[in-house]
Structure 1
């Protein structure tokens, strides 16, 4: 939430003498809003493909991607809590003026790309649940601006409660599907152990890179660094240290839920499709059509579509917040939420309408892949400034990263950037 709104509607934090659980509950929320980006429709395509083609073997990749995400989101929370600036504001204040406009533009492109994935996910879910055409679902998705406005008016806690409720629905849907799929427990446990075969099999490596590339969302780093400021904790060294501890627990537990959901998508796909004539299934709509007959469970496809609709709706809320944070942080410019939402959603809707009109609904999946490639291109422009800022003694003081954690953070940046560059080069060339 933009800093002015956070200051007016800050969530009260009980005094340090209060029971620890009450203090922790006051900090729960931002991490779950960030976790939305780690299970958006863009993740579904890679998880489905990985499970259908390679069984449980890529579960270790999902686990690795989640561990890296936990570290990066903890760094984003550290920046916001210690400096009182979100990542966009820090870039504006601490980087040369000539660098800020390109950084802002690349971030806006990433937000539009993420919005594109939300449009596609929502349209596909409406098609699967109600038989609406992709074109009709795409146009209906524009109306989400009214949902966003309603939630914004009710404050931060209402936003967080809405997001957590939908995350719970997604978790329940996939929990039921997991039971129905009756996966191999031994296969799952073995899948979480990294295998060198992933690196030696080019097809498996490509899907693995896609999973990592679709996991860490650049706008989440801007979003988290701002949302943590919505708590009313003492702006002292001890107060910040306490806030940092609870905020890190919040995001870590929330991302553990994201790990469960992403792993569940892959496990269900592996149990249902791997080793069958359907193991090349890659489209979300094809997976939906096949789930019920393959699993012999009539509600499987419906639960899958409900979870997809919940994921797309959730991403709408957090995408709107991230867009406002980025624009205000880089440009010190604020637009009404509904104007901001209509602009980004309108831009995201156009390519879907054009592709459907020219080539039909079958090409929508290609747009989903394209959105993930665009996101991967923007990722370095968010991660590199973040790690640089939190490693700086001048900017962070006693809260700067220790040398060991700084080396680990830069290593994660290099790994993610390297894998995304390979994903991009493979996709284009």
Structure 2
């Protein structure tokens, strides 16, 4: 088995040479756009739509704050892959001396991958049901098959074609979710007022925690380090590394600006047009409410955006799940088997008829457990001079990363407590 994906797919130096020769970063962009799709999955759509419908513009600041923190976290993940030539799971798999520790960490990470698939496969299934009236289980199978085909594309053709497909789906997501804002625009003054941090009771705190829990996802952290490794390999210290890291900052900024804008738009769309409307806590209910308030074309575009969201995000989730297995277990597992393992719980939930909205909520709770296991090692590794060399985090960067990690973990614990107590 190759030590990592770059052994099987040697890095093409031409984009770096072209960028270096022309002092441009454009040839080096792409990995963050793929990782950024994780911030536009059906869980985000449901959380932001519910927040806007229930509390209007109140929680705009939560979406913005989550994306600011996500920028730093995703950049650190990308930097780890560039500087070490290893993904986060791979780096941890090499550091864990005990087999039981490695397998224990893998079990929780695999649970995260499965929970990710629950939200994303169910989101795709719901979209196909809305668009073509397909049974949810059929929609789930189609979503799973498409994600596997995209994994095959990445495995056989390399990082660049995979990036192009996911970026294309990201544009469809943006159009699908933002179109309604043209017909039902928000109130600018109220939207600006939503940037001031405040809550309105326990339910708003629960929704804020849900938004942040659906924003910074463990699988996005695992995936981004692997994506930069697959694209650039190990980049030695010097001019080339500085160029790649500079391009990565631009890449992360563009990707999260798009993802953050779309997430804010979803909340604003609901706040302007669906506030107080019953049933908008479910994807089907939000779709029906949009159709009633803004017309069927807007509802159709919403469903198309939701389908693109499910297909793109489950592909990235499947990529992360494959990397988790490869990096931690040190065994070669066939692509079909890896995909079958992570998608099975989502399909089982559809088969037994679990309410899709309930499944989405429960998946976010499970993901909350995985946040510390991804964030704490990421901050620790990128602050390790022996591992990172001259690219080690500055003290301020580490302090901000610790602050962001602590805040996210605290809010996810709050989410778990509120869900457990039924607040």
Q: Tell me the TM-score normalized by structure 1.
A: 0.92
Shift in Å at residue 77 of structure 1?
Answer: 1.3
Match of 1:165 in 2: 168
Shift in Å at residue 15 of structure 1?
Answer: 4.7
Match of 1:411 in 2: 403
Match of 1:259 in 2: 260
Match of 1:360 in 2: none
Contact 2:137-2:347 within 8 A present in 1 as well: no
Match of 1:321 in 2: 319
Shift in Å at residue 233 of structure 1?
Answer: 8.0
Shift in Å at residue 154 of structure 1?
Answer: 3.2
Question: Cα distance 1:179–1:120, how it changes in 2: closer, same or farther (>3 A)?
Answer: same
State how far apart, in whole Å, the 1-side matches of 2:392 and 2:309 are. Answer: 35
Contact 1:12-1:26 within 8 A present in 2 as well: yes
| SS of residue matched to 2:10 | helix
Shift in Å at residue 8 of structure 1?
Answer: 5.6
Match of 1:194 in 2: 196
Shift in Å at residue 236 of structure 1?
Answer: 2.8
Match of 2:417 in 1: 425
Deviates more, 1:128-137 or 1:146-155: 146-155
In structure 2, the gaps of 5 or more residues are: none
Alignment of 1:4-83 (within 5 A): 4-7=7-10, 12-15=15-18, 17-21=20-24, 24-83=25-84
Q: 1:115 aligns with which of 114, 117, 125?
A: 117
Q: 1:336 aligns with which of 334, 337, 345?
A: 334
Match of 1:246 in 2: 247
Measured against aligned partners, the alpha-carbon deviations of 1:292-348 in whole angstroms (never above 9, x if no partner) come to 2212x3301100000000001101221221122111111222223233212322233
State how far apart, in whole Å, the 1-side matches of 2:317 and 2:344 are. Answer: 14
State how far apart, in whole Å, the 2-side matches of 1:142 and 1:259 are. Answer: 26
Deviates more, 1:159-168 or 1:232-241: 232-241
State how far apart, in whole Å, the 1-side matches of 2:390 and 2:153 are. Answer: 41
Alignment of 1:7-406 (within 5 A): 7=10, 12-15=15-18, 17-21=20-24, 24-97=25-98, 98-144=100-146, 145-150=148-153, 152-191=155-194, 193-195=195-197, 197-198=198-199, 201-229=201-229, 230-231=231-232, 235-274=236-275, 276=276, 278=277, 281-295=280-294, 297-356=295-354, 363-406=355-398
Shift in Å at residue 257 of structure 1?
Answer: 0.5
Shift in Å at residue 281 of structure 1?
Answer: 2.2
Question: Cα distance 1:331–1:3, how it changes in 2: closer, same or farther (>3 A)?
Answer: farther
Contact 1:113-1:372 within 8 A present in 2 as well: yes
Contact 2:279-2:286 within 8 A present in 1 as well: no
Shift in Å at residue 153 of structure 1?
Answer: 3.0
State how far apart, in whole Å, the 2-side matches of 1:258 and 1:5 are. Answer: 31
Shift in Å at residue 401 of structure 1?
Answer: 1.4
Shift in Å at residue 7 of structure 1?
Answer: 2.3
State how far apart, in whole Å, the 1-side matches of 2:117 and 2:261 are. Answer: 23
In structure 1, the gaps of 5 or more residues are: 357-362
Q: Tell me the TM-score normalized by structure 2.
A: 0.93
State how far apart, in whole Å, the 1-side matches of 2:19 and 2:131 are. Answer: 48
Contact 1:217-1:375 within 8 A present in 2 as well: yes
Deviates more, 1:315-324 or 1:207-216: 315-324
State how far apart, in whole Å, the 2-side matches of 1:9 and 1:104 are. Answer: 31
Contact 1:233-1:243 within 8 A present in 2 as well: no
State how far apart, in whole Å, the 1-side matches of 2:350 and 2:257 are. Answer: 32
Question: Cα distance 1:285–1:186, how it changes in 2: closer, same or farther (>3 A)?
Answer: same
Shift in Å at residue 96 of structure 1?
Answer: 3.9
Measured against aligned partners, the alpha-carbon deviations of 1:112-143 in whole angstroms (never above 9, x if no partner) come to 11011111101100110011222332333343
State how far apart, in whole Å, the 2-side matches of 1:84 and 1:254 are. Answer: 22
